[in-house]
Chains A and B, each alone.
Chain A
């Protein structure tokens, strides 16, 4: 053995290298603090950083949704069923998420995982990087006393809506910092969010011609539109030292959403925030290491226990410990720590709020076949977005409690396999079922299907706040364990009546864009529209937007974390992934998680 003495004491130990952990780590490393990041997944480098000159991310559709695997998890009702996952998503037989379809019907699901890899979910996501609107931060006060909220028979919206303990204005400088340091392209004009710190977007690339229908539809309906902010660099990015190809348009490929980027143009937290600091002596990164529990003495977490790539256990200490391994897994880690020490459990969860108010988004949309045909394999994830449905006027007109962002998807169905495997299905648990069962798609029938759909499918999506409910929660499952013998996360959630109504309204609005986009007069046929609650596994659907479960606030009896995302009864324990959110926001959450992480990083830099 040639053991080298590696440090085991740090200023900050960060668990997770994605949107919640990497930004604050970036700030603290630059501030000279010693930082250790522990990451469960592997480090997959882009080509320009890999000593072999190739990346472990491939432009191969079987990397995004790989071969069939079979669930063999005991004590779930879908054991024996097939599932498909990306190469950086977990093996469900080793580490399933289990959700309750109904009492006595627990099912394993791939929903609710982002990615287990350095960079976390930002490696696979489509990169949509929207700010929340100012209203998203004050839904409690906005809805207080309202009598025009529809489909809220028990008054849960008014009872459960919460203001964030920080305002949009307080977060705005951090949005700007995140946009600059992460590397985002887009346009500001027509966004319903003030850019007081100035604009830092890189210019967007060309739109895919199919998006012209969305332009027409949004314009016809008077919806101010803007180029969807995307975490893909289009120019050389000075903060991270990344360079774009001679032709920046090369970034547009169908291998975007659910693919890691072998060129490193997609702004994962690894290539944008961590890799540039990799050689700093005060930055340590240990990947392929799974944290098993936190150990505390009184109000201080004094040990972080983890298993190394061979399964050997180690402990490290940090003056500050930050948990940021995606909301479900963060809640699970805190609960597992409480399972090992009842005093830890009492401190982290004195009011039974840990795991409660778990959130995802109300999402859905509409899709249509457009006239003509377009090369969707030359695209990014989205071209146009609108905040039309995020305004107070829209919200009040429809009796809603909150608004939404609406944008088109450009890269969906861009490649032959993605077209086939999502035929009749849109969710991760049922891919391929539609194609395999639709026996009409054979020979001439398959040719007609390809003629009718390939390069002709256009969809518009909405992303909206879900009503926070205490009974929507993350627990530890009573009998299902992971490959280390630890209880897995158990997700119990359902949609509120107002969620269903809200999704119906927004699905119709999305459909209208396509109706008007197709012919300018609103008569173009739309093939389908609706909210996610309509799908077969609607209770499981999470869209990889994993939020809540450890919300922050100003009242320790109503929240798990304080305004700085510190656990109320701990001196040095912070949670900075999406778990901190008391409401989900009317947009994709990653940029807000990143901005908040920068905010907490500044707080910690002052504190340490």
Chain B
């Protein structure tokens, strides 16, 4: 049995008050859930934050952090609900973990919540049992369709590298597109990455990491369009499809992702100019907009905290730390100093 934790009421209310409590009826949040204006989530702020995937600090192993605290919240305000439980692949599917009332000043608020510890780097599906009736999480934007056609709610934990949104060919196509933007295809970049990856203990790291020139940026994109920037999922689906078509026209003898590097350089320039021969503008009007989006995501993925799915094994930061040194060889970007163990070396910060 996976034990449930019950954090303080205040912990849950810190999220409920800002993101859920409201009286407005305007659908001002459609962008976040890519849903219809009639959908309740269109009136909820940042619904991607639910369930809450938070840091967990294990007092028994203070220098390791292998789990996230995942908190499920059900908003039963104004509803006549007796019991709510959660069941999911993070525990036995037979296990029902009851959500408990969240109180403010001793009064029940109508919010129900519970917390479980889930290992990092994982993806899970779950559903609520509302008075024993299986129910999708009405807040969470993430959903997964199973092989049997059933839809479940979904979440993933820090550093997850399991593909969620992008198809295999999309992953492959984004590889050279993002690698072209980043500095790791330069001579010094390539040399650094080769040496950096070679130094790593791959067995200890696990097999799910992709050792590529984009330092996990494509995985970052896959995760950010699954959650925080779900509204850009459509941009990637359509634009990548058009890029594939253009590359097929220009290089009919090979898979688009295997087109020569010069083809991507040319395409990049054309995307930037907004004039892409062969582009179907009726399906995506502004190729330059997609490039700007890709640039922001690529840079962010390469240099943000690895918990977000990119900057795999902190390779982006390590590149800067290695490249910029003083005359004595000391790094001029000591990123490890401020960050939590085992990623960093701070004796105080716990992540």
Contact = CB atoms under 8 A, between A and B. Distances in A.
Interface of A: 1-4, 6, 41-44, 47, 51-56, 58-62, 66-70, 72-74, 90-91, 93-94, 116, 245-247, 250, 253-255, 262-263, 286-289, 307-312, 373-375, 377-378, 415-417, 420, 432, 435-437, 439, 441-444, 446-447, 450-451, 454-455, 481-485
A417 B109 contact: no
Contacts of B19: 91
B23 to A, nearest CB: 5
Given A91-B45, A309-B21, A484-B23, A377 B299 contact: no
A69 B293 CA distance: 13
Contacts of B268: 439, 442
B194 interface: no
Chain A at the B interface: SS class: loop
B350 interface: yes
B303 interface: yes
A550 to B, nearest CB: 27
A443 B180 contact: yes
Contact of B21 (A311, A416, A437): A311
A384 to B, nearest CB: 21
Query: What 4 pairs across the A-B complex have the smallest Cβ distances?
Result: A4-B106, A288-B17, A42-B14, A67-B228
Given A53-B59, A60-B308, 8 more contacts: A42-B14, A58-B55, A67-B229, A74-B26, A93-B29, A288-B13, A374-B332, A446-B183
B21 A245 contact: no
Nearest to B77: A310
B183 A450 contact: yes
Given A2-B106, A310-B21, A311-B23, A443 B186 contact: yes
Interface stretch (B119-127, B142-150, B167-175, B341-349): B341-349
B8 interface: yes
A136 B335 CA distance: 41
Interface stretch (B204-212, B237-245, B249-257, B316-324): B316-324
Contact of A72 (B30, B188, B320, B351): B30
A374 B334 CA distance: 10
A301 B160 CA distance: 53
Interface of B: 7-8, 10, 13-19, 21-24, 26-32, 45-46, 54-57, 59, 69, 77, 103-111, 180-183, 185-186, 188-189, 224, 228-229, 231-232, 268, 272, 291-293, 295-296, 299-300, 303-305, 307-308, 316-317, 320, 323-324, 326, 331-335, 337-340, 346-351
Contacts of A56: 14, 54
B16 A310 contact: yes
A485 B24 contact: yes
24 contacts: A4-B106, A47-B349, A53-B57, A54-B54, A54-B351, A59-B351, A68-B228, A72-B27, A94-B22, A245-B347, A253-B337, A286-B105, A288-B10, A378-B337, A416-B316, A416-B320, A417-B304, A420-B303, A439-B291, A441-B295, A442-B268, A482-B24, A484-B23, A485-B23
A295 to B, nearest CB: 19
B30 A263 contact: no
A308 B103 CA distance: 11
B348 A250 contact: yes
A10 B340 CA distance: 43
Contact of B307 (A60, A250, A308, A439): A60
Contacts of A436: 292-293, 295-296
Contact of B28 (A52, A94, A416): A94
A91 B28 CA distance: 10
A484 B299 contact: no
Given A54-B350, A67-B228, A447 B10 contact: no
B225 to A, nearest CB: 10
Given A93-B28, A310-B77, A450-B183, A41 B18 contact: yes
B18 to A, nearest CB: 7
Contacts of A1: 107-108
A464 B332 CA distance: 34
A304 to B, nearest CB: 15
Instruction: Classify the secondary structure of B's interface with A.
Output: mixed
A547 B291 CA distance: 40
B69 A483 contact: no
Contacts of A311: 21-23, 77
B11 to A, nearest CB: 8
Contacts of B331: 375
Contacts of A375: 331-334
Nearest to A117: B14
A82 B174 CA distance: 23
A441 B185 CA distance: 13
B186 A444 contact: yes
A374 B332 CA distance: 6
B105 A308 contact: yes
A72 B23 contact: no
A113 to B, nearest CB: 13
Given A61-B304, A70-B31, A378 B334 contact: yes
B308 A62 contact: yes
A481 B24 contact: yes
Nearest to B308: A62
A68 B105 contact: no
Contacts of B13: 42, 288, 309
B332 A455 contact: yes
A483 B23 contact: yes
A437 B292 contact: yes
B351 A58 contact: yes
Contact of A444 (B7, B106, B183): B183
A437 B292 CA distance: 6
Contacts of B69: 52
Nearest to B65: A54
A377 B189 contact: no
Of B186, B307, B332, B339, the most chain A CB neighbours within 10 A belong to B332
Nearest to B326: A373
A554 B136 CA distance: 61
Contacts of A6: 105-106
Contacts of B339: 59
Most-contacted residue by chain A among B299, B326, B346 (CB, 10 A)? B299
Nearest to B317: A416
A455 B333 contact: yes
A107 to B, nearest CB: 16
Nearest to B181: A442
Contacts of A67: 224, 228-229
A312 B305 CA distance: 38
A246 B346 CA distance: 12
Nearest to B7: A52
B62 to A, nearest CB: 8
